[in-house]
Amino acid sequence: SNVAFLCLLGGGAAASVAPRAARPVAVGSAYPARELCSRCGLCDTPFIGHVAQACAFLGDGMARIDAAEALAHGRARRLDEEDELYFGVHTELSGVRMREPLAGAAWTGVVSAIAIEALESGLVDAVIAVGARAEDGPARMEPRPQLCRTAAQIRACAGVKPVLANSLELLDAVRADASIRSLLFVGVGCQVQALRAVEAHLGLDALYVLGTNCADNVRSSGALRRFMSAVSTSPDTAIGFEFMQDYAVHVKHVPGPADTAAQGVPHAPADSARAALYERVPVFSLPQSGLKDVIADSCTSCFDYSNALADLVVGYMAAPLRHGERMTESTQYVVVRNARGAALLDGIRPRARFTALSSNGDRRPFVPGIVEQDLEGLLGDSPPQLWAMPRWLGTLLARLLSRLGPSGVEFAKSSIDYHLLRNLVRVRVTEGEVRAAAAIPAHARAVEAAYGTLADELVARYRA
């Protein structure tokens, strides 16, 4: 059992620079968190010796965020202030885009630009980011974490890889390299939680953490291929996708002979990023049969959409999306949590455009139905729906909802509500109330309370 495994690893934090001696998980062996493991990479290094305190899915799991926020940022999250409840501790929350978009980036290149500036200005000696397994073909969306020492290496990591990535595996190389005194880590919440737990053991003078929002990551390369085949009319030319505020999945394609297969609108080819074609698939037209078992189990037990422990977070859900706008033209948003985050963002201020965020609509009538529908897919016994709504009808419905539903900050809050509530019910049902009481952080409990008896009713339905 996990308990026996963790006893072998020992308990109690040691204040030494060297990692507690322990052997990484052997190829093909089970990880300590087993099916909940997000393959963050910690257990692929000798830092596995800290797994009992570090792993977001063992013991108190993500509830450790409650105390860790104060350690990382100097104060705890204010749960009675709605933007803090949802986006975490912050000193600044604003829209942002690069004035000159970076070719090859998923958006305008804010994350890449921050990382490049941090390296070139000497703020950090190295950057851990996620590159692609291949330059071309389906593997260009599959992750290969990189320890970057040049701007070109960071640039090559541009673009989202929506699959679990074991980035913390590179911590061993960082610790072994005496020339790395200061590191920038770019990653998602579960990785950052484990990283914070071993930060003091890395032997660094400074650690900067640039986080991205994260929800519903894909469990494997095979699952990503199944997903793309189900969603896109041209899966082999896809280079990125996002679920957007207009209730559509925007799939970005490389320009080329297969362009005609993609239902996008050709763009004036000012540069390669703008020449890419886009396909917009309404979420109501996604075939459920192709989506089963795509999301990793870790991600349906996750309570850190907002990446609470990063110094600076870049996301897109809270930013406005204008009708017809492409990802490479869209504004994103930044959450500055502390002085290190401000220093990172300061590096790109002259080249970025900042805007105030807007918020419209009311999320509360929309959230319960989405949670119920998702839980039925995860925990229910109804047979999967074998038909999908035709795209024209799905598009009409998506347009209608875009007008009536929440947008901007309110849309981000609806997405956070939905993921937190769905995952909270799933953890309560599948892992039991004792573990749920230990592992669910305070901000998720506050969202649960805001929806009255909804979670209790859903737990009772699926526990039966």
Binding site for ligand SF4 (CB under 6 A): 31-33, 37-40, 42-43, 51, 54-55, 57, 164, 188-190, 194, 214-215, 217, 296, 298-299, 302, 304
User: What is the radius of gyration, based on Cα positions, of the chain?
Assistant: 21
Q: Cβ of residue 265: shortest distance to ligand SF4, in angstroms?
A: 31
First-residue to last-residue Cα distance in the chain: 26
- Least Å distance, CB 47 to ligand SF4, is 9
Minimum distance from residue 179 beta carbon to ligand SF4 (Å): 27
> How far apart are CB 392 and ligand SF4 at their closest, in Å?
32
Of 188, 176, 186, 228, which Cα lies nearest the Cα of 210?
186
Nearer to ligand SF4, 34 or 463 (CB): 34
Q: Beta partners for 148?
A: 127
How near is the Cβ of 143 to ligand SF4 at its closest, in Å?
A: 11
Among residues 117 and 297, whose Cβ is nearest to ligand SF4?
Answer: 297
CB atoms within 10 A of CB 222: 13
Give the nearer residue to ligand SF4 in terms of CB position, either 2 or 330: 2
257: phi then psi, degrees, rounded to nearest 5: -60, -30
Question: CB-wise, 199 or 304, nearer to ligand SF4?
Answer: 304
Minimum Å gap between C-beta 95 and ligand SF4 is 23
Minimum distance, C-beta of residue 149 to ligand SF4, in the bound complex (Å): 25
Contacts of 394 (CB under 8 A, 6+ apart): 281, 282, 283, 284, 285, 388
Residue 33 beta carbon to ligand SF4: minimum distance, rounded to whole angstroms? 4
CB nearer to ligand SF4: pick between 116 and 440: 440
Minimal distance, residue 365 CB to ligand SF4, in Å: 25
Q: Judged by CB, which is closer to ligand SF4: 249, or 299?
A: 299
